[in-house]
């Protein structure tokens, strides 16, 4: 169990940001000390890093991230439901299918955005590499020239 400062260092976020994320309902420390200090588990930290990655890499707003995550929670809820005896009911099975489909659609959309970004990133990387080799060549030229 870590205190906020420790987590800030681990995640490279500020304490303010961590509290802000919590305020938005994005992350919640698993516990508090008697006196009210936030206590984070390793799992919490992993979760925070995932949020950060989603923000940085997907470029998603914190609101969007929250929406995705809320959907994830519905998924977890669904999973629990799956093992309850209620699922004998046919109507309930239909409801679960509906939710699963919705989740699938959303995740696939997210995935496609990621894929698109990955493609463009690869292009950009190639561009950089070409520029870099051109520079390296030019440097060689100049060095040769200066020796003559």
Partner DNA sequence: ACAGACATTAACGTTGACGTAAACGTAAAA
Partner DNA sequence: TTTTACGTTTACGTCAACGTTAATGTCTGT
Give the C-alpha separation, 19 to 112, whole Å. Answer: 31
Output DSSP code: residue 35.
T
Cβ atoms of 68 and 60 closer than 8 Å:
yes
Any contact of residue 121 with a second copy (CB under 8 A)? yes
Per-residue exposure over 30-66, b if at least 16 CB sit within 10 Å of its own CB, e if not: eeeeeeeebebeeebbebbeebbebbeeeebebeebb
Q: Does 97 bind a second copy (CB under 8 A)?
A: yes
Which window, 14-22, 84-92, 96-104, 128-136, contacts DNA (CB under 7 A)?
Answer: 14-22
Interface residue list for a second copy (CB under 8 A): 53-54, 56-59, 82, 90, 93-94, 96-97, 100-101, 103-104, 107-108, 110-111, 114-115, 117-118, 120-122, 124-125, 128-129, 131-132, 135-136, 138-139, 142-143, 145-146
Which residues would be at the binding site for DNA (CB under 7 A)? 3-6, 14-17, 19-20, 24, 33-38, 55, 61-63
């Amino acid at each position: 169990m870590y205190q906020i400062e420790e987590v800030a260092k681990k995640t490279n976020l500020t304490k303010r940001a961590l509290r802000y994320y919590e305020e938005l309902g994005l992350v919640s420390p698993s516990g508090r000390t008697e006196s009210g200090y936030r206590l984070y588990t390793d799992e919490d930290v992993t979760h925070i890093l995932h949020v950060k990655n989603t923000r940085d890499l997907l470029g998603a707003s914190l609101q969007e991230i929250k929406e995705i995550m809320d959907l994830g929670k519905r998924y977890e809820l669904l999973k629990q439901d799956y093992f309850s005896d209620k699922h004998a009911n046919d109507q309930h099975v239909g409801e679960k299918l509906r939710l699963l489909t919705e989740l699938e659609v959303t995740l696939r959309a997210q995935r496609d955005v990621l894929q698109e970004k990955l493609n463009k990133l690869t292009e950009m990387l190639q561009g950089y590499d070409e520029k870099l080799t051109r520079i390296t060549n030019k440097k060689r030229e100049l060095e040769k020239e200066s020796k003559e």
